[in-house]
Structure 1
Amino acid sequence: MQYISTRGGGEPMTFSEALIEGLARDGGLAVPAEMPEVSPETLESWRALSYAELAAEVIGLFATDIPRADLQRMTRDAYAGFPDEVVPLTPLDGGLTLVGLSEGPTLAFKDMAMQFLGQVLEYQLERSGSVLNILGATSGDTGSAAEHALRGKDRVSVFMLSPKGRMSAFQRAQMFSLDDENIHNIAVEGVFDDCQNLVKRLAGDVVFKQENHLGAVNSINLARITAQVVYYVWAWLRATDESGPRAVSVTVPSGNFGNILSGFYAARLGVPLARLVLATNENNVLDEFFTTGVYRPRAAAETLATSSPSMDISKASNLERFIFELFGRDPERVVAAWAQLDEDGSFDIGSDLPRLSGEFGFASGTSTHADRLATIRQVHDAVGEIIDPHTADGVKVAREHVEDGVPMLVLETAKPQKFAETIREALGIELEYGPEVREMLDAPQHVTTLPDDAEVLAAFIRDRALG
């Protein structure tokens, strides 16, 4: 399996090369040169596998340069700290089913891919005798999941950017309470899109990237996307049987388009998905794109701070991977669209719009703060479950797209404890924290505040990067 750039530059890469490279050298994103496919018979044969065993099979379709025995060891180690049922499915009211993705160490779905990424990065760096300085941006959960997966590793340092004052207190504590020498938390004076732009600017500087051994753990990194494909396969296997409905729909709360892109890849792999429903909050740039065909990211000043902060994103990195497929894998059209975006602030896919809901099966919707509070209350009253505000966004939008005879799955994003203030507002209750969580919340925080300035950030990294 070879990987190419969405913008057509550079030589094809192996999975391991794309893993270390992160952002492609031409500024594009790595995508499979040819999408792997599995037969219905192969899908059926996977029903009896454990989650770790299934992960080795699915990721192995993409990581063909890694021996299968090594993959099996890495996936076993990645999910060893999860409960026995790594991804539980829980029925909700109204015919919905919640796909539980928050059983990992940081209580968020990002752990599902990040725990594997920590394993495979360490494996590849040891195999090559090299080091890597991870530069990432987080709107809330990616940062803590990456840091908890990579803390204490000898060959990796993490430089994680977050928007100052834009995360929940729990999210800040999960990141900033870490005092490992290889973890560097940086609060940027701006919004998430400013952080993401800094990452892309430094990662796009080939000289700086090579001199400082720069890599990525955001969903820019293809390993994140492929590891997330696994739980779509897992959920389909548990939501269907040989005598029942064969296709399911999945609703995905989405900010950076990585999670739902993994669902798109799962569908291309052969998983029968009727609809992929994208759910956004008040920062509804992606909803606008999927309903009008116009992609118009907002400026930093127009990006709202909401009660689902991990989705407070205007410019979705992974949309480029989908646009590449929409444009018939034509890198010239991708480059032209992004050039128009840079010049005009938007682009319009025009006659390709009907293909979004037709050929590709996408739908979308949005929620407000009031919608999320109402949905949290509704789910709690109906089945006794407490869901976080991002998941509530997904449940609200999912209800608008339920079809007779087609199971509707909703991907959970995090435990409600990470957003206690919103839960208090919705339900009037205080969520209980165990002693380990309370200790984390009360611990000293280690973070450096920097301006939205690429040169200042570059100097900070040079002084602390592994060489």
Structure 2
Amino acid sequence: MQYISTRGQMAPAGFCQILLDGLAPDGGLVVPEVIPSVSAAQRERWRELTYPELAAAVIGLYATDIPEADLAALTAAAYSEKNFPTAGTVPLTRLNPSLYLVGLSEGPTMAFKDLAMQFLGQAVPYVLAREGRVLNILGATSGDTGSAAEYAFRGRSNVSVFMLSPAGRMSAVQRAQMYSLTDPNIHNIAVDGVFDDCQNIVKAINGNAAFKQANSIGAVNSINFGRIAAQIVYYFWAWLRITDGVAPAERDDVRVNFTVPSGNFGNIYAGHLARRMGLPIGRLILATNENNVLDEFFRTGVYVPRSRENTLATSSPSMDISKASNLERFIWELLGPEEFQVRWPELERSGRLDLSSWQSRLTDEYGFVSGASSHADRLAAIRSVFDECGVLIDPHTADGITVARRHVNDGGSVTLVLETAKAAKFGDTVAEALGDRAPAQSPVIAELLARPQHVVEAPNSAQAVSDYLADHALR
């Protein structure tokens, strides 16, 4: 398997190379030259696999330059009982006959990001050791990516993490998970801005090829295709589990919908690839909060990223994103490489990309539908799921539940909502929704919040972050 850039100026590269580089050297995002196909017979052979075994099988279709035995060892370590103590790693919870919750928050930081990041936490050091290199990971987080990356790489001798976060825009638990770490290879930088500003700084520094090479810079944001490959796994896992009780002759006819709370389009892009690989997915239901740029795109075909001033601070802060980096991969596929090279610069010039003439294909061919959720919607969803099922959900998952209910059975027999995080990470919003019925803060969370926090403050400046990185990078 070889990878190319959406911008068309990168020589084909293998998985191990793009795993370390993150962003393509021409400023584009890497995409596989060919999307692998998985037959119904192959899916059935995967049915009896454990989660680590399934991860090795799925990721192995993309990471063909890692020997099978080595990849199996990496996924076994990533998805060990220590990291994911819940039986099965990714449990499914039935909310009603047509709605299920896919439990993606059983990892060390209580968020879905752990499922991809724990794999990278094994795979990246493996490749570095094989090549005798070090890596300085530069990332941006709107909430959960940062802690997931830091917990995956903390204590590594050949990796340092420099994580940018928007000052004052994360929950108290999200901040505590990141800023309380004292490992010398972990660097937290709070930027005076919103997540999109942090993301722009990461892109600007990655775009400086000389600086990137001199400081051995890589990325583990969702722009890193290694994360996308690892996220594809739980789409297959969830479909296999939901069809366990279906007669074998009828399984291939079972189409399910997946609802994905989405800010940067990485998680749902993994679902798109799973669908292209042959997984019987009916609809990919994209859920946003009030920062509904992606919802507008999939409803109208017009993509208009918003400025930091127009990016709202909401009660589902990990989705407070108004410029979805991974959308570039999908638009490249939608338009085709040649048309993409003509049309994409329009976005850079005008801040707007009108693909309304392509809009019908978004649903008819690719299966996307979308919707937005408000704060009131989140509170109502948290209450109703707790009242009806006794299940606590976080506000981002509540966005997913809200939009999923509008599309139940729209193209699939059941709808699976991808969980985003544990409700405990967003105690204030859960308490607002449930009042006196809200669970008391756990001793684990109380202890976490009480730890001293360490963070470097920085202006919204790529130069300031570059200077800090150059002074603290591994050599």
Superposition CA RMSD, Å: 1.1
- Could you say which residue in structure 1 is the equivalent of 2:255? 247
- Matched pairs, number: 465
TM-score (norm: length of structure 1): 0.98
Distance (whole Å) between structure 1 residues aligned to residue 93 and residue 280 of structure 2? 20
Which of 211, 220, 224 is 2:223 aligned to? 220
Q: Find the counterpart in structure 2 of residue 399 from structure 1.
A: 405
Q: CA deviation at 1:402?
A: 1.1
Which of residues 289, 309, 312 in structure 2 aligns to 1:304?
A: 312
Contact 2:261 2:400 in 1 (8 A): yes
- Counterpart contact for 1:320–1:334, Cα < 8 Å: no
> Is the partner of 1:112 in helix, strand or coil?
helix
Q: Could you say which residue in structure 1 is the equivalent of 2:58?
A: 58
- Give the whole-Å Cα distance in 2 for the aligned partners of 1:306 and 1:269: 35
Cα contact 2:165–2:198 (8 A) shared by 1: yes
2:288 — aligned with what? 280
Counterpart in the other structure of 1:437: 445
Aligned to 1:320: 328
1:364 corresponds in structure 2 to 370
SS at the partner of 2:61? helix
- 2:462 pairs with 1:459: no
Q: What letter corresponds to residue 363 of structure 2 in structure 1?
A: S
> Is the Cα–Cα contact under 8 Å of residues 136 and 159 in structure 1 kept in the other structure?
yes
* Contact 2:98–2:409 (CA under 8 A) maintained in structure 1: no
Q: Secondary structure at the match of 1:180?
A: coil
Deviations 1:178-204 (A, max 9, x none): 010000000000000000000000001
Q: Give me the whole-angstrom Cα distance separating, in 1, the residues matched to 2:92 and 2:364.
A: 28
The residue type equivalent to 1:129 in the other structure is G
Distance 1:372 1:430 in 2: 15
2:327 equivalent to 1:293? no
> How far apart, CA to CA, are the structure 2 residues paired with 1:105 and 1:216?
21
Residues in 1 aligned to 2:162 and 2:41: alpha-carbon distance in whole angstroms = 44
Gaps of 5+ in 1: none
For 1:146, the equivalent position in structure 2 comes to 149
Q: Secondary structure at the match of 1:365?
A: strand
Taking the aligned partners of 2:342 and 2:104, their CA distance within structure 1 comes to 37
Amino acid at match of 1:298: R
Partner of 1:412: 419
Give me the whole-angstrom Cα distance separating, in 2, the residues matched to 1:202 and 1:450: 15
Query: Could you tell me how far apart the structure 1 residues matched to 2:419 and 2:199 are?
Result: 24
Q: CA deviation at 1:220?
A: 0.7
The residue aligned with 2:18 is 18
Query: CA offsets per residue over residues 241-293 of structure 1, 9 Å max, x none?
Result: 32455111100000000000000010111111011000000000000000001
Conservation of the 8 A alpha-carbon contact between 1:139 and 1:163: yes
Structure 2 residues without counterparts, runs of 5 or longer: none
**2:188 — aligned with what?**
185
Partner residue in 2 for 1:424: 431
- CA distance, structure 2, for counterparts of residue 453 and residue 334 of structure 1: 30
Q: Is the 8 A contact 2:98 2:413 kept in 1?
A: no
Bigger shift: residues 428-437 or 191-200:
428-437
Quote how far apart the aligned CAs of 1:364 are: 0.2
Counterpart-to-counterpart distance in 2, 1:44 and 1:159 = 42
Q: Which residue of 1 aligns with 2:70?
A: 70
Distance in 2 (CA, whole Å) between partners of 1:398 and 1:254 is: 13
CA contact (8 A) 1:5 1:28 kept: yes
**In structure 1, what is the Cα distance between the partners aligned to 2:52 and 2:440?**
31
Tell whether the 8 Å contact from 2:228 to 2:270 is kept in structure 1 after alignment. yes
User: How far did residue 433 of structure 1 move?
Assistant: 4.3
Deviation of 1:94 after TM superposition, in Å, equals 6.0
**d(CA) in 1 for partners of 2:362 and 2:46?**
30
AA in 1 matched with 2:74 = M
